[in-house]
Structure 1
Amino acid sequence: MMDFAHWLPIVWAVILVAAITIYVILDGFDLGIGMLFALERNQGRRDVMINTIAPVWDGNETWMVLGGAVLYGVFPGAYATLLPALYLPIVLMLLALIFRGVSFEFRIMTRGTAREGLWEVGFMAGSGIAAFSQGAILGGVIQGIAVTDGAFTGGALDWLTPFSVLCGLAVMCGYALLGATWLVWRTTDVLEASCRKWAAWLAVGLFVGIVAVSLWTPLLHAPYLRRWTDWPNILFVAPVPVLVVVLGVLLAAGLRRGHSKGPFLCALGWFFLCLSGLGITVWPYAVPPSLTLWDVSSPPSSQFFQLVGTAILLPIILTYTIYSYRVFRGKVTEADGYH
């Protein structure tokens, strides 16, 4: 019978995946709106785009911090291996997020001046670079990390491959789709109509990206291919691509028929399915293709101690997040402001 020490890393893996998923959902459309600034030139409608996220955007990075804390405290072996392997895209992502946050606030402070345009460019660039970096990090992990005796032994640019670039572009497209469908839900009139058009094209781009990454990933390592093709695994994984197609049809229909909330939920469904497929592919590796969850986890006593604190704090964070989004729900118009 499997003991408590065996199950603790699995519990923490679920918490880590949940934190990453919530971060992607919340900060994904946030970053996507920043990139969509490049398609919307009207200043009033740009203000509306900002106002849909202004009350809540600061809290979205909470989930990234939680994910990093879990990786550092519970899976220190993975943290010590992944950080040097992905140091450059991680630093680039953090710098982009910082510059994006500064641009977000300074844009408000410099309204009507020549510098406002500069901060808007910073907001767009920071959003795009952060999104690409996150995709490249994901691609770098999936394609595998060079490890010898539990330590990273590769080069600083091992992560930079055609596969990681494809993942970076796919995540950019996906975040932009989340942003467009979020604006379809939360805005009106001309901006809503424009976002429906953008979302239709972005959905095609993301679907192509999903197909390309899905076909390429099993070819990277033999265990990946077996995970999807061996019996009886195929019974559990076959619904994933089918559901991707079904959600794509529903997304297109929702955009065409004027639905507000449906397209955003379908886009979220795509991300959930992609993350599910990733989990199915790499399980049980924390550092593919060699180190499992149990190889890189901290002592069970340390994991349990951290689990007690997380069990207290996680419901508080979830409650605050749900409450804040509920308070600021509804359509946003040019009459609404942010100060």
Structure 2
Amino acid sequence: MALDLVPVWAGLLALAVLMYVLLDGFDLGVGIIFLQRTDDRERDLMISSVAPVWDFNETWLVFGGTALMGVFPVAFAVIIPAVYFPILLMLLGLLFRGVAFEFREVVGARKQLWNRAFFGGSLLATFAQGIVLGTFIHGFPVKDGQFVGTSWDWFAPFPLMTGVGLVFGYTLQGSTWLVMKTEGELQRWARMIARRTLAGVVLFIVAVSIWTPLVDPRIAARWFSLPNLIFFSPVPLLTAVLAWQLLRSLQRDHEVVPFLCSIGLFLLAFSGLIISLWPYVAPPTLTLHAAAASPLSHEFLMIGTAFILPVLLMYVFWSYWVFRGKVRHDTGYH
């Protein structure tokens, strides 16, 4: 009898998405606010704070995309045509951003050009990812297991709103990261950006929390029917508590707590997304089991994943431990 690995793979896919959002979110956020500082030394410091880890963070994006294609091929065939252009824009943004990391340090390079490419690539990639998220929540028109919409379905109010919302979210991640990793005037400025951005993040969370139940009766029933209302009530309550704690920690000049609180907000938002959409992998009709490949394929892919995933996790913990502490002009990490 074949093992049912669909729930396991669903968990691994969720882990890949979550790890990418948490780890690549802050360095994209740093890029979004990069041009707001005009001093080249401060810009170099902002780059140095993410330089040791930024490229590896995107490994989770590759892992997630590969898992979706190999494990849930029907969902892959539905999702990709629907968000083809946002994904294309995201990849272009990540490409320009990655090139800017390297080329801006070349002797004789047009540094201002590559600074703008770093900012533009970060902003474009983030906005495109938010559009993909909004399109996923909004749902895909499917008939007989095939996508029947157009590649422009993403151009709608809700996906565009989530694109803007994710820009605020990643900016919050990036600014709290700089609070944790820098000192002096740059740190004080990052605190100010974090306080301002937090208001936008809270407004976005409230807007999505109101919008989605109003347009989708299934989501409304999931959250507001009894006993679900009691079981799921800690999610919005904890979100409010964390947002308040983040603001207080910024006002009290804490350094690590704001970043941890911003991570907590993303975790709670992600858990709310899972609660709303489970067990659909391409809402509102295609479930995990309906979109899954054969059990034999799941077992075969799990063999390689069992070796790769622990290495990825160990490298994440090791690299962030090695590059812990403040980043400074004279000594790098200290």
- What range is the shorter-chain TM-score in? over 0.9
Describe the superposition over 1:229-271 as per-residue Cα deviations: whole angstroms up to 9, x where unpaired.
Answer: 1111112211111011100111011101111100000000000
Q: Secondary structure at the match of 1:109?
A: coil
Q: For 1:241-260, what aligned pairs fall within 5 Å after superposition?
A: 241-260=236-255
1:206 paired with 2:194, answer no
Instruction: Return closer, same or farther for 1:110/1:278 CA change in 2, 3 Å cut-off.
Output: farther
How far, CA to CA, are the matches of 2:203 and 2:309 in structure 1?
A: 36
1:149 aligned partner, one-letter code: D
1:53 paired with 2:54, answer no
How far, CA to CA, are the matches of 1:181 and 1:164 in structure 2?
A: 26
Match of 2:99 in 1: 102
1:32 aligned partner, one-letter code: G
Are 1:51 and 1:336, in contact at CA under 8 Å, matched by a contact in 2? no
1:282 paired with 2:268, answer no
Match of 1:117 in 2: 112
Describe the superposition over 1:19-56 as per-residue Cα deviations: whole angstroms up to 9, x where unpaired.
Answer: 11110111000100001112211111111111011111
How far, CA to CA, are the matches of 1:229 and 1:10 in structure 2?
A: 25
Q: For 1:19-98, what aligned pairs fall within 5 Å after superposition?
A: 19-98=16-95
Match of 1:15 in 2: 12
How far, CA to CA, are the matches of 2:251 and 2:107 in structure 1?
A: 38
1:65 aligned partner, one-letter code: V
**For structure 2, which runs of at least 5 residues remain unmatched after alignment?**
none
Match of 1:217 in 2: 212
Q: Which moved more, 1:192-201 or 1:327-336?
A: 327-336
1:261 paired with 2:249, answer no
How far, CA to CA, are the matches of 1:108 and 1:218 in structure 2?
A: 48
Match of 1:196 in 2: 191
Q: Secondary structure at the match of 2:281?
A: strand
Describe the superposition over 1:278-333 as per-residue Cα deviations: whole angstroms up to 9, x where unpaired.
Answer: 00000011110000000100011110111122111101111111111111110011
1:144 paired with 2:127, answer no
Instruction: Return closer, same or farther for 1:153/1:110 CA change in 2, 3 Å cut-off.
Output: farther
Match of 2:287 in 1: 292
**For structure 1, which runs of at least 5 residues remain unmatched after alignment?**
none
How far, CA to CA, are the matches of 2:327 and 2:281 in structure 1?
A: 42
Shift in Å, 1:110? 4.7
Are 2:35 and 2:115, in contact at CA under 8 Å, matched by a contact in 1? no
- Residue from 167, 172, 175 that aligns with 2:170: 175
Shift in Å, 1:337? 5.1
How far, CA to CA, are the matches of 1:118 and 1:78 in structure 2?
A: 39
Are 1:166 and 1:213, in contact at CA under 8 Å, matched by a contact in 2? no
Are 2:2 and 2:296, in contact at CA under 8 Å, matched by a contact in 1? no
1:332 paired with 2:327, answer yes
Q: Secondary structure at the match of 1:159?
A: coil
Are 1:184 and 1:260, in contact at CA under 8 Å, matched by a contact in 2? yes
- Residue from 209, 226, 229 that aligns with 1:231: 226
Q: Which moved more, 1:120-129 or 1:307-316?
A: 307-316
How far, CA to CA, are the matches of 1:181 and 1:110 in structure 2?
A: 31
2:279 aligned partner, one-letter code: P
1:325 aligned partner, one-letter code: Y
Shift in Å, 1:109? 1.1
How far, CA to CA, are the matches of 1:85 and 1:217 in structure 2?
A: 19
Moved >6 Å (runs of 4+): none
Shift in Å, 1:336? 3.7
Shift in Å, 1:4? 5.9
Question: Paired residues, what number?
Answer: 333
How far, CA to CA, are the matches of 2:250 and 2:2 in structure 1?
A: 48
How far, CA to CA, are the matches of 1:246 and 1:4 in structure 2?
A: 44
Q: Which moved more, 1:69-78 or 1:228-237?
A: 228-237
How far, CA to CA, are the matches of 2:77 and 2:149 in structure 1?
A: 13
Describe the superposition over 1:58-90 as per-residue Cα deviations: whole angstroms up to 9, x where unpaired.
Answer: 101000000001101100000011011110101
How far, CA to CA, are the matches of 1:40 and 1:217 in structure 2?
A: 37
2:181 aligned partner, one-letter code: R
TM-score (norm 2): 0.97
1:94 aligned partner, one-letter code: L
Are 1:110 and 1:116, in contact at CA under 8 Å, matched by a contact in 2? no
1:161 aligned partner, one-letter code: A
